[in-house]
Amino acid sequence: MALLRIHRFPDGILAKEAEKVKEIDGKTAALLNNMADTMYSANGIGLAANQVGVLERVIVVDVGRENDRGKELFKIINPEIIEAEGSQITEEGCLSVVDYTAEVTRASRVLVKGWTLDHKEIEIEAENLAAVCLQHEIDHLDGTLFIDHLSRLKREMYRKRLKKLGDIPDPDPSKSNVPNI
C-alpha cells in the first residue's frame, strides 16, 4: 500500500486533461490500487488520477457504506459517460478543494462505459450519489473541478479565502457530512 499525495487547487495539474490509457498493465493496476488506498485514507468516495499527479484516464469510486468499504469499489479505466438524464442538485466537496462545499447541478442518472484491469469492457448505470461521484471524477479527467460549475463570484470568493488562509490545513472530514468526492 502506497499513499499518494493529493494535489490541491490551484495546482495546475488539476486543470489538465488526462490521456487515455493505451495499455492496461501492472503499472495501471498499481496506480489504481494506490489510488483506492489514498481515497480511503482521506475519507473520500472517489479519486481521479489527476488528483494524484498522473495524467491518465483512470478513476476509483466507492459510494458504499462506510463499514462496507471496498465491497462497492470500482476501478475504471478510460471512463466515459455515454448517457445522462434527469437533474439533481447536491452538495459536493472534493479532496482537492480544501474545506469548501457547494451545491452543483448534475444528471441524476448516468451510464458510464469503461474498462477493468481484466481488460473487460464494463457499463455502469448509476443514480443519485453514485451518478454524482462518477460525473465528478470524470470531470477531473477533463481538467474540470466542481468549483468550475459555480458562478464566477463563488469561485473568486473561494480563491480569496485560500489566499487569506495562506498555509492551508488538511480538512477534517469528521466535521462535515458532505462526502469528499
Sequence-ordered alpha helix ranges (H) in 15-165: 26-41, 128-141, 152-165
Q: How far apart are CA 111 and CA 84, in angstroms?
A: 6
CA of residue 22 relative to chain centroid, distance = 21
Q: How far apart are CA 143 and CA 43, in angstroms?
A: 22
* 60 in Cβ contact with 73 (< 8 Å): yes
**Positive or negative: CA dihedral 77, 81, 86, 90:** positive
> Which residues make Cβ contacts (< 8 Å) with residue 129, sequence separation at least 6?
45, 63, 90, 179
Annotated active-site residue 137? The verdict is: yes
Catalytic residue ranges: 137
